[in-house]
A and B are shown apart, each in its own frame.
Chain A
Amino acid sequence: MHPVIPYVVAAALFAFGVYGVLVRRNAVLLLMAVELMLNAVNLILVTAGTVLGQVFALFVIVLAAAEIGVGLAVILQLYRLRRTVTVDDVGKEDGEVPA
């Protein structure tokens, strides 16, 4: 088994995650890109091949689940208040709803 294959895949997934976080305007899509990055890190941890790496990967998966739960609650509340989940509009004044 050549470990460089999963390592390169993980690097590519991480790069797509970074691109998605920077480019996407919809908050839900932003969270999806964060998930891609977390998965890339997990892939590297598992490819390292030790039991310890797998333990860390499991911890990261649980942390990602907690993060997604709180993140989606924030997004839902944001939608309830502003009627939009576009992250560019978050800092705007109340009532200034984009078209």
Chain B
Amino acid sequence: MTVADVLLLAMGAVAVGAGALVVGTRHIVRAGLWLVVALGAVAGMYLVLTAELVAWVQVLLYVGAVVVLLLFAVMLTRAPIGASADLDRARWPGLLVGGGAGVGLVALLVDAYRWTSVKPPDPGNAKAVGEEIFRAWVLPFEVLSVLLLAALVGAIVISRPDVGSR
């Protein structure tokens, strides 16, 4: 057990606990706030895994933008502030499929990796990531920007008040 292992374990426990509360809590707003905790813990794991660019993009985009958008949606749809009893439908199909997926994936990954140890990559690889994106993956990158534009226009068109009203 190295320092990295201890940090990964601690932040992994935070992420898993917060993730359980995201899908388990009866308060809609609290689910969004627990999502912040879970995504922040995952960003911390990225840092320990020496992927600092991904970690900060995660903090900026997920914790900064996506969760704010989700909380806006919670407020705009007049979600109840307190606990609501009718957030979940019957639990057993979800438990069955989710539990099956979780157990299967854990079994697969534990069986594949056991308790093997790898040397963590060197920190400070933002330059390497940038070079990889703008050399090998520049065309997908540009397609992605077109997709973002399309999503932006689509979101504006969909949410226009005069569309679909009668």
Contact = CB atoms under 8 A, between A and B. Distances in A.
Nearest to B19: A16
B105 A15 contact: yes
B132 A52 contact: yes
A16 B17 CA distance: 10
B49 A47 contact: yes
Contacts of B32: 32
A4 B51 contact: no
A95 B73 CA distance: 23
B57 A66 contact: no
Interface of A: 1-26, 28-29, 31-33, 35-36, 39, 42-43, 46-47, 49, 51-52, 54-55, 57-59, 61-70, 72-77, 79-81, 85-86, 88
Given A1-B8, A51-B129, 12 more contacts: A12-B102, A13-B19, A15-B99, A15-B102, A17-B19, A20-B23, A22-B97, A36-B35, A57-B51, A57-B54, A65-B61, A66-B151
